[in-house]
Amino acid sequence: MADLRDKLRALPCGAALLDAAVAGTYLVGGAVRDLLRGEQPHELDVAVVGDPAPLMGGLGGEPRQHERFGTASVRLGGCRIDVAIARAERYPSPGALPEVWPAQMEDDLARRDFTVNAIAVDLVDGTTRAAPHALDDLRDGLLRVLHDRSFLDDPTRLWRLARYSARLGFAVEERTARLAREAVAAGALRTVSGTRIGNELRLALEEADPVAALQSAVELGLAPWLDPDPARIARALEILPAEGDRALTVLAAAARHPLPELGFTASMVRAARAAPAPRAGASPSEAAKAFDGVPVEAIAATGTPEAERWLRTDRHRRLAITGEDLLAAGVREGPELGQRLRAVREALLDGRVGDDREAQLGIALASPP
């Protein structure tokens, strides 16, 4: 097997990591998987057998510590290196966060989600260590769990199965597929919080092909509240303005039932819920009543011509007059002021008046209070 350190050195931050490596420093997980496949890793994950302080000192970046799992993130320029103490783990109950303790590299590999992510490269001597089946599964394009309780111990691995099968194009090994079905049927996902499921959903939405990731999740039975129709989602993204959030738009276009509690903020929930679409052929002013104040992601998710017109043109239309103009013309302050301005805006959107200030003022003063 070729020395993966040569490929690593060519990556951003790769040379700095290799130069800082001390005995017991391993590149692990997805980074090794991707390098072996001839691809650039999404991230650089490092496990250290023993004390990580010499490596951290050699990297010289500003670490961010995560004490519970003995991990730290180091920023070097525009990239990040995640460093963890090699560890073993046990789950005190299904779905709980694991209890961890320092261990050897073999133990660290054995606790991982799938065999293709259970490969490590010693950054000092270049040797490779792998869990059983790992290198064969990588060659054959298979996703295989490392033990029978994997999905019960950590049900978020079901979402990772969906993401990896979509991203890598790997098949799910037969026993792993059976264990996944059994875990879903047993209600394993109910043992983890909605926030953790929401985090996994966000990661799926950030994939290069989020539709494929969501389709994989639905096929596994993870998200019966989703219907990720590719054409509907493509239409939503087509009309989404540049400032919109593509991930939330995909979710809004895919959600077909009320979303479960996913730990989203109130603004995210609003954006991820498709807006009520006005009737087909609705006038611009009718569409405005439906879309005013609604997040652009929720509007785009409707995919309607009315939504496209609103997002591209009508939401940007502004009156040439203000309430001050009406007060100066003798209109009393109060609800009447807003009613007259709304009447002018409807006329503007529907093409009954243009941008001329005097024409708009005439409409405002002629409107019944």
Q: Which residue has the higher pLDDT, 80 or 138?
A: 138
Q: Which of 186, 121, 119, 202 is nearest to 149 (CA)?
A: 186
- The CATH number of whichever domain residue 69 belongs to comes to 3.30.460.10
Query: Are 214 and 238 members of one domain?
Result: no
Both tokens of residue 31? Answer: 């980074």
Domain end, chosen from 140, 164, 198, is at 140
Q: Which residue has the higher pLDDT, 258 or 126?
A: 126
Number of domains in the chain: 4
Could you give phi then psi for residue 62, rounded to 5 degrees? -90, 110
Query: Are 35 and 98 members of one domain?
Result: yes
Confidence at residue 304, expressed as pLDDT on a 0 to 100 scale? 96
Domain end, chosen from 170, 201, 222, is at 222
User: CA-CA distances (angstroms) from residue 158 to 29, 163, 221, 290?
Assistant: 17, 9, 10, 38
Query: Are 129 and 154 members of one domain?
Result: no
Confidence at residue 65, expressed as pLDDT on a 0 to 100 scale? 59
pLDDT-wise least confident of 112-126, 142-156, 208-222, 257-271: 257-271
Strands 128-130 and 99-102 turn out to be unpaired
Average pLDDT over residues 143-161: 97
Per-residue pLDDT band for 181 (boundaries 50, 70, 90) equals very high
Element (H, E) at 10: none
- The CATH number of whichever domain residue 170 belongs to comes to 1.10.110.30
Confidence at residue 63, expressed as pLDDT on a 0 to 100 scale? 56
140: Cβ contacts below 8 Å, ≥ 6 apart: none
Query: Are 203 and 244 members of one domain?
Result: no
Both tokens of residue 362? Answer: 């005439």
**CA pair distance 301, 218, nearest whole angstrom:** 19
Both tokens of residue 34? Answer: 């991707």
Domain limits for position 258? 225-316
**CA pair distance 130, 114, nearest whole angstrom:** 11
Query: Are 128 and 48 members of one domain?
Result: yes
Q: Please, what is the average pLDDT of the chain?
A: 93
Average pLDDT over residues 219-230: 96
Confidence at residue 74, expressed as pLDDT on a 0 to 100 scale? 85
Answer for the pair 236, 303: CB distance below 8 angstroms, yes or no. Answer: yes
Query: Are 230 and 214 members of one domain?
Result: no
Q: What is the pLDDT of residues 19-29, one digit of tens each?
A: 999 999 999 99
Query: Are 122 and 17 members of one domain?
Result: yes
Could you give phi then psi for residue 73, rounded to 5 degrees? -110, 135
Domain end, chosen from 157, 187, 222, is at 222
Checking if the pLDDT of 77 tops 70, the result is: yes
Q: b/e for 215-252, b at 16 or more Cβ within 10 A?
A: bbbbebebbeebbbeeebbebbbebbeeebbbbbbbbb
Confidence at residue 72, expressed as pLDDT on a 0 to 100 scale? 83
Q: Which of 296, 367, 292, 361 is nearest to 336 (CA)?
A: 367
Query: Are 213 and 303 members of one domain?
Result: no
Query: Are 30 and 119 members of one domain?
Result: yes
Query: Are 275 and 289 members of one domain?
Result: yes
Most distant CA pair in the chain, distance: 86
Tell me the residue type at 214: L
Checking if the pLDDT of 221 tops 60, the result is: yes
**CA pair distance 321, 357, nearest whole angstrom:** 6
Query: Are 57 and 16 members of one domain?
Result: yes
Q: Please state the separation of Cα 73 from the chain's center in Å.
A: 20
Query: Are 31 and 133 members of one domain?
Result: yes
Look up the pTM and report it: 0.89
Confidence at residue 2, expressed as pLDDT on a 0 to 100 scale? 66
